[in-house]
Amino acid sequence: MEAFEVEGGEDHLLAAENGHSPDMKMEVRHLTKVSDKDVRILNRISLDIPRAVIVGMIGPSGSGKSTFLRALNRLWEPASASVFLDGVDICQLDVLHLRRRVGMLFQLPVMFEGTVADNVRYGPQLRGKKLSDNEVHKLLALADIDPSFDRKSGGELSVGQAQRVALARTLANEPEVLLLDEPTSALDPISTQNIEDVLVKLKKDREMTIVIVSHSIKQIQRIADVVCLLVNGEIVEILKPDQLSEAKHPMAQRFLQLSS
Ligand SMILES: Nc1ncnc2c1ncn2[C@@H]1O[C@H](COP(=O)(O)OP(=O)(O)OP(=O)(O)O)[C@@H](O)[C@H]1O
């Protein structure tokens, strides 16, 4: 966990500064985004993300959490040499290949036309691979959806079921990293717990690396191994979930007090 220790100073000088460490799945170095109106949305963020951990990102609204997450699979184009996957600059990778390896789940699931099975088959089919019924059922079961749902149409599903099908669809690409942007904010507590259980299982059983943005500090405390606090486009604290009350940054403290 050493790589998470905050060194202080202008940014966090983590292991990424000293070359790629094989324990690190992703490394972010001085990631910056400036808006068209010259506002700094992200300000020189550096972070090492070890493999097979769940990293929670929390912070006030507008602090840059989604923007940070979206850089990791190039939903916007970061500067070259600012985001690395297994030590390779993601800007050098084919973008579709990158997005298969670094999958993303959004706040609200969007079902594609067709059945649940069609949705799950979508990604592999783009690469000319047709998943068997058995493979589809296994992916649905992994995402905690009853395999008998395979013939339902996407429109018949509740939001919670659709989110789990969207998860199965993402998992069909066999991602190594999963990015989640408030994936349970539209779900009831039971669906939320189901998704959380799946995430913890994916980390343990498949060594998946997971970065999750959430407004729920309780959720982050339940599932994350480490928590990054983002304020005004900067990571101001990196803490273990049970140390959140020890945050020192005044804005982070205020945010945590008001959110708990
Ligand atoms: N493409 C863009 N152009 C200009 N400004 C943007 C762009 N994308 C995001 N922003 C601004 O950047 C800031 C950070 O937005 P972002 O959505 O990343 O924050 P967030 O922490 O995820 O917020 P929330 O918790 O409300 O979802 C906001 O002020 C937003 O208005």
Q: What is the mean pLDDT of each run of 10 residues along the chain (260 residues)?
A: 40 49 92 94 96 96 96 97 96 96 93 95 94 96 92 91 94 97 89 92 95 94 95 94 88 79
Q: What pLDDT was estimated at residue 249?
A: 87
SS3 218: helix
d(CA 238, ligand 1 centre) in Å: 21
Residues 81, 250 contacting (CB under 8 angstroms) = no
Instruction: Give the whole-angstrom CA distance, residue 260 versus residue 223.
Output: 16
Q: Which residues line ligand 1 (CB under 6 A)?
A: 35, 41, 59, 61-67
| Closest to 258 measured CA to CA, from 58, 57, 69, 6 | 58
Please report how the helices 133-142 and 116-126 are oriented relative to each other, as an axis angle in degrees rounded to 10. 110
Q: What pLDDT was estimated at residue 16?
A: 44
Q: What pLDDT was estimated at residue 144?
A: 87
Six-digit token pair at 71?
């850089």
Q: Whose CA is nearest to atom 10 of ligand 1?
A: 41
d(CA 189, ligand 1 centre) in Å: 27
**Which pairs with CB-CB distance under 8 Å and at least 24 residues apart come from 31-40?**
31/68, 31/71, 31/78, 31/79, 31/82, 31/83, 32/79, 32/82, 33/64, 33/67, 33/71, 33/76, 33/78, 33/233, 40/233
Is the whole-model pTM more than 0.95? no
